[in-house]
Amino acid sequence: MEKCTRIVWRFFVAWFACAVFVLSCDNPFLPNTGEPLKANTGRQTPEGVVLQLFHSYETRQINLFTDLFSPAKDFRFYISKSFQPYYLSAHGGGNLENIDSSFAYVYKRISDENAYYWTYNDEIQIHNNLFSMAVEIRMQQNPQLIDSGSVRYFIGPNGTEYAEVVVLDGQMQITTQTPSDQVVEDYFVDIGSQVFYLERDPQNATLWVIAKWFDLSTASSL
C-alpha cells in the first residue's frame, strides 16, 4: 500500500492503524448493492468470506464486518513490516508472535518469521471509526480475481483446519470530510498483498470466519 501512508497514519494516530482494502459498488467483481446486506452473505466458502469483507467496505456496514469473525474473538491482524515502527511508537509496544511454517505464504515472505499483531477489539474499533468517518470508499483499480483453485486448505499447528486466501494488487479511494470545515479529502490506497487464514465457524461448521489477516504491503513511511 505505497500510497496509503497519509490516510493510514491519520487513522492510526487516533485508533492505532488502519490497513484496509475494499471494492466498489460498480466493480464487476461484486454483485450490485442496494438494500442493506444480511450477515452470512457468503461465508459458505473461503472466497465468499472475502467477498463479504469487500461488501462491508463498499457499503460501510459494520454488521457485515463483525460477522466475519469468530464469536470467540480470537482474531489477529498482523501489521506490515514497513508500518511496525509507527505502530510501536504510537502504541507503546505491541504483541509479537512467531509465525508457524504451516502458514506457508506469509512464512516465506516474513524475513525473521515473526510479526506484531493487534486483536479483535482493536480491529472492530478501527473499522467502526473508519466506516463512520468515510464519506465514500470505492475501487479505482480492481485486485486480481480470487480463483477458487488457488485457495489452499491445510491443518494448522493446533489441529485447526485453515483455508489460505491471497488478495493482490488493486487500488481504492477513501473520501473523508473534515468535521471542522467540512472539506472533502480523497486518499488513494494501493492494496499490495493481503493474506487471510480462515477457519471454520465454531457455531456453524458449514461457514468460515477470518482467524488471521496478514498485511504484507510495503507502505512507505510518512
Question: pLDDT digits over 143-161, tens only?
Answer: 777 777 789 999 998 899 9
* Angle at alpha carbon of residue 15, lines to 61 and 184, rounded to 5°: 65
User: Quick one: pLDDT at residue 80?
Assistant: 86
The three cell numbers of residue 47 are 472466497
In three-state secondary structure terms, 88 is helix
Sequence-ordered strand ranges (E) for the chain: 76-78, 95-98, 114-119, 134-141, 152-155, 161-168, 171-177, 184-190, 193-201, 204-215
Taking each helix axis from N to C terminus, what angle separates 120-133 and 5-15, rounded to the nearest 10 degrees? 120
CATH level 2 (architecture), domain 5-215:
Roll (3.10)
User: Quick one: pLDDT at residue 58?
Assistant: 85
Cα separation, 87 vs 116, in Å, equals 9
Query: Where does the chain have alpha helices with state H?
Result: 5-15, 46-59, 62-66, 84-91, 104-107, 120-133
What is the per-residue pLDDT across 35-89, written as a single tens digit (0 to 9) for each? 444 555 689 999 999 889 888 888 889 999 999 999 999 999 998 887 877 777 7
Give Cα 63 distance to the centre of its chain.
Answer: 15
Domain segments of the chain: what residues? 5-215
